[in-house]
Amino acid sequence: MKANKPLTIRLWLPALLLLFLVGCGVDSQVNELLNPAEPSKSPVAVIQASDTSVKVGSTITFKGNASTDPQSQDLTYAWLLSELPTGSASALSSATDAVVTLTLDVGGYYTVTLQVTNSGALKSNTAAVQVDATGTGSNHPPVAMAGADQSVTAGDLVILDASSSVDADQEDLTYIWTLLSAPATSEITGLSNASDIYSFLQTDVAGAYTVRLRVSDGIDTDEDFIIITAA
């Protein structure tokens, strides 16, 4: 019987050590040792942009083919233009290609995101890149917004509203309204309050009246057009 005691002690030592470690407040570490976390199997989205600060009108290339998958599985791509300046009509060249492009049409900030999915249907994180489009120097050109085209009755007074125009630098804006064209029989030659945020067009005959709005922040200028159709 005495010869078996050392073996009995050796069998108890691991349990005693575990109880000691738990008593010392390291139970979470013990749990990690006994049940190690499995390595992540999700892919990782990576965006490589050709540039992130350019002039308005430039085209940026975004590459997603540096994205990786721990299992080396094939990846599919989901691009999104999640943020763009007011007045911009820019769109990504594709939502699913590995490489996409974006042409920046107005000044301000554009945010492009990418998420990839492997052939096992596991999705990645969402990667994001912000691009800054400027005009002269570091200035962000304003965005002129003359409003939607309107249909009215001949003889109506039309209110022209530029209040939706914006400037990313929040600079004070100036406005110039111009009547570019009117029906051939119209006697209207101009607009009221042509240099204010609100202007007025007094229609007199049926036909189309084309008005241009120019907005300036003192450095850069943008323009927009509105057509008033009187019947």
- Per DSSP, helices labelled H in the chain are 5-23, 27-34
From 83, 106, 134, give the residue that closes a domain. 134
105 and 67 part of one domain: yes
C-alpha to C-alpha distance for 142 and 170, rounded to whole angstroms: 9
Q: Are residues 155 and 130 in the same domain?
A: no
Would you state the pLDDT for residue 24?
A: 57
Question: Tokens representing 144?
Answer: 């002129």
pLDDT tens for the chain, 231 residues: list them. 445 555 454 555 555 555 555 555 555 565 655 666 566 689 999 999 999 999 999 999 999 999 999 999 999 999 999 999 988 999 999 999 999 999 999 999 999 999 999 999 999 999 999 999 999 999 999 999 999 999 999 999 999 999 999 999 999 999 999 999 999 999 999 999 999 999 999 999 999 999 999 999 999 999 999 999 999
The pLDDT, as a whole number, for residue 116 is 98
> Which domain, by its residues, includes 86?
48-134
Cα(48)–Cα(56) distance, rounded to whole angstroms? Answer: 20
Q: Please give the Cα distance from 21 to 128 (Å, whole number).
A: 44
Q: Residue 41 has what pLDDT?
A: 86
* Residue 117 sits in the same domain as residue 160: no
Q: What is the pLDDT of residue 1?
A: 46
- What is the residue whose two structure tokens read 């000691």? 20
Tell me if 228 sits within 8 A of 222, measured CB to CB.
no
- What is the number of structural domains in the chain? 2
Give the domain CATH number at 214. 2.60.40.10
111 and 58 housed in the same domain: yes
Q: How far is the C-alpha of 122 from the C-alpha of 32, rounded, in Å?
A: 25
Report yes or no on 66 lying in a domain: yes
Angle between helices 27-34 and 5-23 (to 10 degrees): 120
Residue at 20 is within a domain: no
Q: Which residue, among 82, 81, 71, has the nearest Cα to 124 in the 3D structure?
A: 71
Q: Is beta strand 127-134 parallel, antiparallel or unpaired with respect to 53-55?
A: parallel
- In a shared domain, residues 207 and 169: yes
Structural domain contains residue 3: no
Does one domain contain both 181 and 208?
yes
**Which of 86, 107, 134 delimits the end of a domain?**
134
